[in-house]
Amino acid sequence: MPLLSISVFLPLLGGVLLMALPNKSARIAHGVSIAITGLTFLVTLAIWARGTLPGGFAQVEEIAWIPAIGAAYRVGVDGLSLPLILLTSLLFFLSAVYAARITDRPAVFVALMLMLETASIGTFAALDALLFYVFFEVSLVGMYFMIVGWGYEERQRAGLMFFIYTLLGSLPLLLAIIGLYLATGSFDMRLWIETPPLTGLAAMLALIAMLFTFAVKIPSFPVHTWLPAAHVQAPTVGSVILAGVMLKFGTYGLVRFALQMTPDAFAQAGQVVLAFGVFSALYGAFVALAQSDLKKMIAYTSVNHMGYVVIGVAVAALTLDPDLRAVALNGATLQMVSHGIVTGALFFLVGMLQSRAHEREMTAFGGLLGQVPWLGWAFVLSAFASLGLPGLAHFPAEFQIFLATLNAQPWAIVAIVAIVVTAGLYLRAIAAVFLGELNERWAAMPDLDRGEMLAIVPLLILIIVIGVAPSWLLNMIDATMRALQF
């Protein structure tokens, strides 16, 4: 059974069937959404149960697509892509559960979300560069319409900024793909990884093109400015998908394309990439500290945490020690997964708070922990995970990144200062919003309802499980990272 193809196209099929139904009531639309995303999640669990290979790609499915140019429908998984596919299917399922309260054009919203899930899983599963680019670009369309159609006051401007930045940012990647194709006559990414076809100046130009595209998507300083506006104006589900899934397109591409397909050029440019990673980590933390809007604060912490991933990948490119390289890439990959879970939880919780108060400014709150204890303690747990507290999800990822950095590039350990800053900004947010005397404006604020609990509790459980026992993920990741040749 082609489980991987089913996981890719089942959401799209569900969206098409929904739009074909004569009755598109909110109840039917959300029922279809939960059923399809839930079934997709179960399919990805079955893919996980089939497993991956220690080296190379497993569960490969291949069908001729455009034979004249060597393009094919090729999909497969390894220890880098499979954890991100699992993360994607889980976040879309929980987003569907949370979105059941949307009554404004629910069928269109659900169809967009399901199309976006197909594009997201397809991006991580694709082994044909042209297919990857198609999925990569289609995701922009879905998120643009989600922001513009269901966002907040300045959604038109934020959606346009997101679309222009990411569309123009992806054009250099297309040029790099064309260059790699001209050198091989094939779009098969496996060939490009096994024997990188470009050398010298051509490889460096391709790397620069890739780095620009993926830096926009990550986002990394200085091409990050679309992110805060997009997050602040996006609906809650849009913020969760954008931060939890779509930012990983950039870091995934950094490993899959830049590191694996142009390894020598990456090693030459590694110090520059590392410097940008360090600066992004520090910049994101300090700018987040200056925010009073909860959603904007969390958006800037994504710049910070994705900076750690860039550091891990750059260290892997620069070191000659295979064990140290594996540690750096294990940490970077685990950070991608943990960031999706932790930041997804935080955006859910801020969305739940905003739906009650129609307010995001920290100074407007106070003393909410006694009024809404479930929401409050869930935020505290997620915030502690985001600041890297031992025993929670970010710690094993960041520990490996900084361990490899300290051994291979000790100067870059200065980025660890960002953890202290992140701790300060989250403690300030907790104190302002949840501690102290209750603001009487919120004396009747209700706590989490059943639907909200169903959306947030699985993420809180994973935050603890990954923090305490990450080996079930790391074993799968490590088998692939140790087999990488570059």
Domain count within the chain: 1
Segment 30-59 mean pLDDT: 92
Q: Is residue 466 scored above 70 in pLDDT?
A: yes
Distance CA 228, CA 244 (A): 15
- Sign of the C-alpha dihedral, residues 176, 180, 185, 188? negative
Would 365 be classed as within a structural domain? yes
**Per-residue pLDDT band at 136 (split at 50, 70, 90):** very high
Q: Which domain holds residue 357?
A: 262-486
Q: Is residue 486 scored above 70 in pLDDT?
A: no
Residues 6+ apart with CB under 8 A from 134: 122
Would 203 be classed as within a structural domain? no
Residue 338: C-alpha distances to residues 62, 215, 272, 292, 445 (Å)? 31, 20, 26, 25, 30
Q: Is residue 233 scored above 90 in pLDDT?
A: no
**Per-residue pLDDT band at 176 (split at 50, 70, 90):** very high
Would 166 be classed as within a structural domain? no
Q: Is residue 92 scored above 90 in pLDDT?
A: yes
Residues 6+ apart with CB under 8 A from 42: none
Would 381 be classed as within a structural domain? yes
Would 463 be classed as within a structural domain? yes
Average pLDDT score over the chain: 91
Would 184 be classed as within a structural domain? no
Would 382 be classed as within a structural domain? yes
| Cut 0.85: pTM above it | yes
Percent of the chain with pLDDT over 70: 100
Segment 457-475 mean pLDDT: 94
Segment 295-317 mean pLDDT: 92
Residue labelled with tokens 């470009």: 198
pLDDT digits (tens, 9 = 90+) for 472-484: 999 999 988 988 8
Residue labelled with tokens 């954890």: 83
Would 445 be classed as within a structural domain? yes
